[in-house]
């Protein structure tokens, strides 16, 4: 858990309220939350080197303390299949981000493993002024954004509560498997909910946390984007 305290105090020293994706994912990893493999590139050649090491296809993303919603500013390019595509995406991301905010501080470009598409879920946390951290669960995309099909529990969440959370969303049948589509790994989601609960209980400096999306497979799951906002 050492890395987590170090990362949070660095952000506080820098006067930052949100962790970079690299930092948020390192925090997640420390708590056993599965994440996509990533490396931070400082130039195009480095990005290509990391892509080759990680293996194609890869995703490139902007890393900047001034950019919270990366895809809104052209800061995410997915499904890059070779070195040429990586170089192109690197230029495109920096160009688009600069166009949007010429003063944005650029830390680098994240090269990461591309998680195969699957059922997407969200695990989050927000702090209630009265009850402290609460844990949220729902399916991704329209289920959370349009249908608000989400559920909450006050942390710390027990394993039984984590299972209840998953079973009580209306979209649960999609996780259980339907019309021949395979069931999702419910135990993997339970583990992520419990790890998130532990993380926010042990680090009360965290005001908001958002693992969105998490791809869930027949076996295992992978967090593709992680956001952590500090008090
Ligand atoms: P933001 O939410 O800041 O705009 P994300 O990191 O969530 O940026 O990226 C936007 C979308 O791109 C994600 O919702 C997901 O659909 C896709 N994506 C991002 N990273 C990956 C990845 N490593 N593997 C597969 N898809 C990804
Ligand atoms: Mg996201």
Q: Mean pLDDT throughout 197-207?
A: 96
Ligand 2 centre distance from Cα of residue 85 (Å): 22
Q: Mean pLDDT throughout 108-120?
A: 96
Structure-block tokens of residue 29: 């990893």
Q: Give the strand pairing for 38-41 and 108-113.
A: antiparallel
Helices (H), the chain: 2-13, 21-30, 44-54, 83-100, 142-145, 159-168, 172-176, 186-202
**Is the Cβ–Cβ distance between 23 and 35 less than 8 Å?**
no
Ligand 1 centre distance from Cα of residue 6 (Å): 26
Residues with beta carbon < 5 A to ion ligand 2? 212, 225
Which residues fall within 8 angstroms of residue 61, CB to CB, at 6 or more apart?
A: 21, 70, 75, 76, 77, 93, 109, 110, 112
Mutate to test the pocket of ligand 1, among 18, 51, 59, 227 (most ligand atoms within 8 A of CB): 59
**Residue 7 bridge partners (DSSP):** none
Mutate to test the pocket of ligand 1, among 24, 67, 78 (most ligand atoms within 8 A of CB): 78
In angstroms, how far is CA 37 from the centroid of its own chain?
Answer: 12
Task: Please report, for residues 64, 139, 219, the alpha-carbon distance to residue 120 in angstroms, rounded to integers and kept in the order given.
Answer: 25, 6, 14
More confident residue, 181 or 198: 198
**Residue 132 bridge partners (DSSP):** 128
Tell which atom from ligand 1 comes closest to the C-alpha of 38.
23
207-224 core/surface letters (b: 16 or more CB in 10 A; e: else): bbbbbbbbbbeeeebbbb
pLDDT tens, 22-54?
999 999 999 999 999 999 999 999 999 999 999
Q: How confident is the model at residue 2 (pLDDT cuts 50, 70, 90)?
A: low
Ligand 1 centre distance from Cα of residue 224 (Å): 6
**Is the Cβ–Cβ distance between 57 and 114 less than 8 Å?**
yes
Please check the confidence at residue 193 and state whether its pLDDT lies above 60: yes
Please check the confidence at residue 1 and state whether its pLDDT lies above 70: no
Q: Mean pLDDT throughout 198-202?
A: 97
The predicted pLDDT at position 177 comes to 86
Tell which atom from ligand 1 comes closest to the C-alpha of 115.
24
């Amino acid at each position: 858990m050492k890395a987590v305290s170090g990362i949070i105090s660095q952000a506080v020293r820098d006067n930052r309220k949100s962790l970079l994706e690299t930092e948020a994912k390192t925090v997640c990893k420390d708590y056993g939350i599965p994440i996509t493999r990533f490396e931070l590139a400082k130039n195009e050649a480095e990005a290509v080197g990391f892509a080759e090491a990680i293996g194609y296809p890869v995703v490139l993303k902007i890393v900047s303390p001034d950019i919270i919603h990366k895809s809104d500013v052209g800061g995410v390019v997915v499904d890059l299949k070779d070195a040429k595509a990586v170089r192109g995406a690197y230029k495109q991301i920096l160009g688009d981000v600069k166009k949007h905010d010429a003063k944005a501080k650029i830390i680098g470009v994240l090269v990461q493993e591309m998680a195969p598409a699957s059922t997407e879920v969200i695990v989050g946390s927000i702090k209630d002024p009265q009850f402290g951290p609460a844990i949220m669960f729902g399916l991704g995309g329209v289920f959370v954004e349009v249908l608000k099909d989400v559920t909450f529990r006050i942390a710390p969440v027990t394993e039984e509560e984590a299972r209840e959370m998953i079973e009580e969303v209306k979209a649960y049948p999609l996780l259980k498997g339907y019309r021949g589509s395979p069931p999702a790994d419910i135990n993997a989601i339970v583990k992520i909910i419990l790890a998130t609960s532990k993380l926010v209980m042990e680090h009360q400096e965290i005001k908001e946390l958002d693992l969105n999306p998490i791809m869930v497979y027949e076996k295992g799951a992978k967090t593709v984007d992680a956001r952590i906002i500090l008090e």
